[in-house]
Structure 1
Amino acid sequence: MERKSVAGSIRNKERSKKKFLDAVGKILRTKGYTALKVNSIAATAGVDKKMIYSYFGGIDGLIDEYILSQDFWSKVTIQETEKIKPKLYDRGKSFIEEMLLSQFDYVYSSKEVQKLILWRLSEPRKSLKKLTETQEQNGEYIFKLLMDSHFKNNAEHVRSIMAIMFSGLYYLNMYAAMNGSIFCGIDVDCPKGRDKIRKAISFMLHHTYKSL
């Protein structure tokens, strides 16, 4: 009976933690990061606010955990990247293309991630800075594995091109979500328009690899 009680307690804790994390996402999506307060999070979650301190050490710990759970590049860990080593027959072109296209769709489909991007651009926060550092750490490993060894003296040029492509995809998604979907005559909020962007990604990447 004691073992079942312990297992039940663990499950209850995980359920409550998920409710808190879901509440953060809901508030962020509907009201923005300025509305992330202890009382509003607890009310939205339907869980005693004391549990925020018990489970996360406070609201900062809760928000930090939520931020890391949502970020695309934090999930592309060094350990995950190690799995692609056997697929480097094309100098990593297929992997980079998959990452670009996946990020394009991920940011578009997640209103919470869009709000997090805006938050990162709006104010300094330790967890957001840590998130950036984690992204750069994972990204640096990928660049060294896929590009530096293959492109050698041209590696910096490829990094610069990737910076423009990745940041451009962020911006197109944010633009479509916030101020209108037409950009350079392309509707980036409809399947046809987004397919044009995907083809452009593949085109630019192909010519980058071909010319350098």
Structure 2
Amino acid sequence: MERKSAAGSIRNKERSKKKFLDAVGKILKTKGYAALKVNHIAKVAGVDKKMIYTYFGGMDGLIDEYIRSQDYWSGVTVEKLEEMKPKTDDGGRSFIEQMLLSQFDYVYHNKEAQKLLLWRLSEPRKSLKKLTDTQEENGEYIFNLMMDSRFGENTDVLRSIMAIMVSGLYYLNMYSSLNGSIFCGIDINAPEGRDKIRKAISFLIDQTYENLGNAKIITKDD
């Protein structure tokens, strides 16, 4: 009986935690991050607000866990990257292409992820800073694992290219969701338009790997 009781308690805890996390997402999507207050979250979740402190240690813990559950890059752990080592003989080209294409679609379909991006641009917050730090750590691991040896001193140029591509994909998705779907004549919300962007991603990666890897070292004076 005690085992069954313990198992039931664990299930109830997980259900309640999920209700809180779902409530955060619902509020974020409909009213924005400014509406994320303890009482409001508890009301939407239908769970006593005291449980936020019991299960998450408080609002920061709840928001931290929610952010981790929604962010694309947070799921790309060092352990997962280690498993991919045998597939990196192309200098990480196929991996980076797949990551960018997957991220492009992930942000487009996940409205909560879009709200998180807007939140990060709008307010300094410890949990959001932690998310950024985690992304940078994962990104640094990817560069060290796959690219530094191929591009040498041009690695910083590659990093800059990736920064432009990632931020551009973020912006296109958020733009098409909030203020219109046409950007530079491409309908980002149309299947054919998104396919054109995917082809452009592949093209840019191809050009980067074919040209930058063989280019002379680019310096500030060039």
Shift of 1:182: 0.5
Map of 2:184 onto structure 1: 184
Measured in 2, the distance between the counterparts of 1:53 and 1:85 equals 40
Map of 1:172 onto structure 2: 172
Shift of 1:141: 0.4
Map of 2:39 onto structure 1: 39
Map of 1:94 onto structure 2: 94
SS in 1 for 2:73: coil
Measured in 1, the distance between the counterparts of 2:154 and 2:34 equals 43
Measured in 1, the distance between the counterparts of 2:160 and 2:60 equals 34
Map of 1:55 onto structure 2: 55
Shift of 1:40: 1.2
Measured in 2, the distance between the counterparts of 1:47 and 1:58 equals 14
1:141-180 alignment, distance < 5 Å: 141-180=141-180
- When normalised by structure 2's length, the TM-score is 0.94
Deviation string, structure 1 residues 83-132 (Cα, Å, up to 9, x no partner): 11101121111000000000000000100010000000001000000100
Q: Which runs of structure 1 show a deviation greater than 4 angstroms over 4 or more consecutive aligned residues?
A: none
1:11-26 alignment, distance < 5 Å: 11-26=11-26
Measured in 2, the distance between the counterparts of 1:53 and 1:208 equals 49
Gaps of at least 5 residues in structure 2 are: 213-222
How many residues align structurally?
A: 212
Measured in 2, the distance between the counterparts of 1:130 and 1:153 equals 29
Gaps of at least 5 residues in structure 1 are: none
1:125-140 alignment, distance < 5 Å: 125-140=125-140
Is 1:5 aligned to residue 16 of structure 2?
no
Map of 2:69 onto structure 1: 69
Measured in 2, the distance between the counterparts of 1:60 and 1:82 equals 30
Shift of 1:155: 1.1
Bigger Cα displacement from structure 2, 139-148 vs 52-61: 52-61
Measured in 2, the distance between the counterparts of 1:18 and 1:155 equals 42
Measured in 2, the distance between the counterparts of 1:55 and 1:89 equals 44
Measured in 2, the distance between the counterparts of 1:181 and 1:107 equals 15
Map of 2:207 onto structure 1: 207
Deviation string, structure 1 residues 117-171 (Cα, Å, up to 9, x no partner): 0000001000000100000000000011111011112211111111111110001
Shift of 1:69: 1.1
Measured in 2, the distance between the counterparts of 1:57 and 1:25 equals 19
Map of 2:104 onto structure 1: 104
- When normalised by structure 1's length, the TM-score is 0.98
Measured in 2, the distance between the counterparts of 1:90 and 1:62 equals 40
